[in-house]
Structure 1
Amino acid sequence: MQKQNGFTLIELVVVIIILGILAVTAAPKFINLQGDARLSTLQGMKGAIQSANSLLYSKAAIGGSEKDAAADASPIEGVTLNFGYIQATKAELEAALDITSTDWVIAVSDPVTTPASVTIQPVDAPDTCVFTYQQAKDASTPPVYGTMPDASDC
C-alpha cells in the first residue's frame, strides 16, 4: 500500500477561502495608513506651534515685550514676535520650529488680510490636508489655529 503525500484539492480550496476572508476583514484597516500618518504629522505640527508660542510668549512676558507689535519687537531666540506670538510668515515659523521647506509647505494665505495667516501642509500631501495659522491680531487677541482636516482629506 502506497502512502499519499501532499494536500488534496479540497484542503487547498478551504485554505484559500480562509485567507480570502482574512484579507477582506483586515484590508480596510490598512488602506488609509498614509492619510492617517499625514494627519498625525499635521497634528504634531499644530502642537509644536502651540508649544513654541507658549514658550516664546512666556519669554516675551518676562522681558516685558508681550504687547509689542512686530515692528517694535526685539527678536527672542532668533524669532521676531508679534504681540508675543510667532508671526505668520514662512521665515519666522521655520526659525521658531527649526523646520525646513523640504518637509513642509508654508504659504501665506492672503498677504492683504490683517492679521496675516499662513497655510501649513506636509510636502506631497493633497491640497485638502492643510491647516491655517493666523497670527495675533493685537495684544489682547491670541493667534488662531485653524481646524484640522479629516483623515480622508489627507
Structure 2
Amino acid sequence: MKQALNKQSGFTLIELVIVIIVLGILAATAAPKFIDLQTDARQSALNGLKAALEGGATLTYAKAAIAGKEKDATAADLDVDGRTVNIIFGYPTALNVGIGAAVDLSSGDWATTEVAAAGGEPAILQIAATGTTPETNGSCWVEYAETETATDRPVISIVGLDSTGADTTECP
C-alpha cells in the first residue's frame, strides 16, 4: 500500500521574512521621491501666485492707461473687473486693496502681511500659504513691492527660491 505524502503548499517563514525585507528596502528607496512632492507642490503654488500677480499688475496698468491714470503719483481707485483696486503710477499698490483686490487674494488660500514703506524702500505685500505668515513660515513666500516711479514696474519675487525656481532654503 502506498502511503500518501503530505505535500504542503505555501511560504516558509524564511521566505516571508525575505519578502518583507525586500519590500522594506524598496519602500525606503522610493519614499524620498514621494516626500519631495510636497516641496515641488509648494514651489509650483508660489510660481503660480507670482504669475497671477504679474498678470494682475499688467491688466491693472492697461486699464489705468486707458483711464489716463498711469502717471498719477498719488494713490487712486480704479475699477478692474468689478473690483475696486487701489493704484499708484497705474499699478496696484502693495496693499490688500491694491494687488490683493486685483488678483482676488481674499479667497482664503493665501495669508498676507502688509509692510509699510520706510526709509526710501517701497511698500511690500508679503503673501504666504494660509495658516502661515512669512514670519512663521520662515522661508518661502511671494513679495510684491509697489512701483516708486512712473517708469518702473512693481517687483514681484519669491523669497526662498532662486531665479530658476530652485529651492535655496528649506521650505517647510
Give the shorter-chain TM-score range: 0.7 to 0.9
Equivalence map 1:80-99=2 (5 Å): 80-99=86-105
Instruction: Give distance in 1, aligned partners of 2:97 and 2:107.
Output: 10
Instruction: Give distance in 2, aligned partners of 1:68 and 1:76.
Output: 15
Number of the residue aligned with 2:171: 153
- 1:57 and 2:68 correspond: no
Instruction: Give distance in 1, aligned partners of 2:44 and 2:115.
Output: 22
Higher mean displacement: 94-103 or 117-126: 94-103
CA displacement at 1:111 relative to structure 2 = 4.0
* Partner SS, residue 108 of structure 1: strand
Contact 1:60 1:76 in 2 (8 A): no
Equivalence map 1:12-27=2 (5 Å): 12-27=16-31
Instruction: Give distance in 1, aligned partners of 2:95 and 2:60.
Output: 16
| Distance change (3 Å), C-alpha of 1:79 and 1:70 | farther
CA displacement at 1:95 relative to structure 2 = 1.5
RMSD: 2.1
Contact 2:46 2:158 in 1 (8 A): no
Aligned length: 153
Number of the residue aligned with 1:39: 43
1:122 pairs, out of 125, 129, 132, with 129
Number of the residue aligned with 2:148: 137
Name the amino acid aligned to 1:124. Answer: G
CA displacement at 1:74 relative to structure 2 = 4.3
CA displacement at 1:142 relative to structure 2 = 0.9
Instruction: Give distance in 2, aligned partners of 1:74 and 1:93.
Output: 12
| Distance change (3 Å), C-alpha of 1:36 and 1:57 | same
Contact 2:94 2:146 in 1 (8 A): yes
- Structure number with higher strand proportion: 2
TM-score, structure 1 length as denominator?
0.86
Instruction: Give distance in 2, aligned partners of 1:50 and 1:120.
Output: 14
The answer for unaligned runs of 5 or more in structure 2 is: 161-166
Instruction: Give distance in 1, aligned partners of 2:77 and 2:109.
Output: 28
Runs of 4+ in 1 over 4 A off after TM superposition: none
Instruction: Give distance in 2, aligned partners of 1:36 and 1:64.
Output: 42
